[in-house]
Every structure is written in C-alpha cells, then in structure tokens.
Copies of this chain bind each other. A is one copy, B any other.
Amino acid sequence: MASVSSTPSTGQATGQVTRPATSGEPLRGYAKGRLRREEILDTARALFGEVGYRSASLREIAARCGISHPGLLHHFPTKEALLEAVLQRRDAVSEERFGVIRARGTEALRALVEIVAANVAEPGEVELYCVLSAESTAPDHPAHQYFTDRYVTTRANLERSLREAAEDGDLRAGVDPSVHAPIVVAVMDGLQVQWLLDRDSPAPTDMPAALRAHLNTLLTHPL
C-alpha cells in the first residue's frame, strides 16, 4: 500500500489520497506523475491501434484513464506530443529487447522470428504498428517522417544480417541481400494484417512459422 509497485496499466485503482498534507517523501508527487504518464501512454497506444491516430480522441483516452481531457493535456501539451511519446517509448522498448541481442547473420534472423513470436502475445503493439504505418503513408501525417526513417533503418539492418549470412555461406546462391531485405520486411508487415484480421478464427495466421518458412527459402539450411 505504501510503495507504488503496480504496473502502469493498472495504476488507476490505487486508493491513494490526493494530497496527504506534509507528505513523507518529496519524490511522491513525481512518482505519481510518472505512473500517470505511463498509464496515459498505454491507453493512447491501445486507442491509436484500435482506430488510428486521427480518429482517436483525447477525451476517450482521458476517460479510460479516469481523468478529464484537459487533465491529459497537462501531461502531454498536444495530441501530436502524445503520439511522439507513444512512438518514442515503442522504440525504447524494442531497442531494449532487440538492440541488446545484436546477433550476427542467421542468428539475427532467428532472433527476428523470436520477436515476431513474442508479438503474438502483444496484440496492442502489432495493432499500433500496423494501423499507424498505413495511416502515416499520407505525406502530411505527423508520423510520416518517423515511419519513413524507420523503414530505411529496418531494411538496412536486415540487409546487413543477410550479407553476414552470405559471408558465412548460409545464403542461397543468387539471393541478393539488397533485393530481399525489403521483401523480408514486407512479409513481416503483411503477415500482421492477416493475423489481426483472423486472429480469433479457428486457424489464425501463424506469423512466426510463416516468417521462418520464408527465411528458409533464402538460406542453405533451415533456421
């Protein structure tokens, strides 16, 4: 009860008083603010993934957090600032999960399959990425530059992994890394749409299995 250890997404129901006159530790207020920020980011990510950035309303996000929409604007001054924070946190999380690995060649490809497998347990992440990447296709979208840049670096990372695989003799003859890097990215993105559409069906798209099958067509021996 005294320590704040609940996850951001469930931090709403804690029965803490609003202003305990002459509180014990001065960090309390900031800690509570950070918690609220995280809760808002979780909620915003979910709604952006459900209906896209443009159709998501600050009022709906705020209501899901149990605050007013001017209350939300106290933490994030504009809707675009909220979007930026959501995308920045997304990058931080994926770097934490992927950047640490930093494997070489086929090992990196194997890690990629693992990441896709983990995404199945995080449909919110997949929705956000899928819906926002398509929406940001419009040149005037606030996330247009973000996704443009992101695809450049994602393709470059994959191209490097494929080149390393070639050096190690793991790549089939005639497979050009610069040609097939964007294709592997396309496979991952395209599978997400199909999976989001049929994930509740009796036979949903098996994203990690399909990605592995695709990568195996490029390699001399299966992953």
Contact assessment for A213 and B183 in the assembled complex, using a CB-CB cutoff below 8 Å: yes
Q: Which of A18-26, A61-69, A189-197 contacts B (4 or more CB under 8 A)?
A: A189-197
Q: Which of A33-41, A79-87, A88-96, A130-138 contacts B (4 or more CB under 8 A)?
A: A130-138
* B residues near A197, Cβ cutoff 8 Å: 136-137, 144, 147-148, 151
Contact assessment for B198 and A194 in the assembled complex, using a CB-CB cutoff below 8 Å: no
Contact assessment for A217 and B175 in the assembled complex, using a CB-CB cutoff below 8 Å: yes
Contact assessment for B135 and A131 in the assembled complex, using a CB-CB cutoff below 8 Å: yes
**Contact digits for A116-150, partner B, Cβ 8 Å, 1 yes 0 no:** 00000000000100110111111100001001100
Main secondary structure of the interface of A (DSSP, over half): helix
Taking A131-B137, A186-B187, A217-B218 as known contacts, 17 extra A-B pairs with beta carbons closer than 8 A to each other, sorted by chain A number, are A51-B54, A52-B135, A54-B55, A55-B55, A131-B134, A134-B135, A136-B197, A137-B197, A139-B200, A151-B194, A172-B217, A175-B217, A176-B213, A179-B210, A183-B213, A185-B194, A189-B190
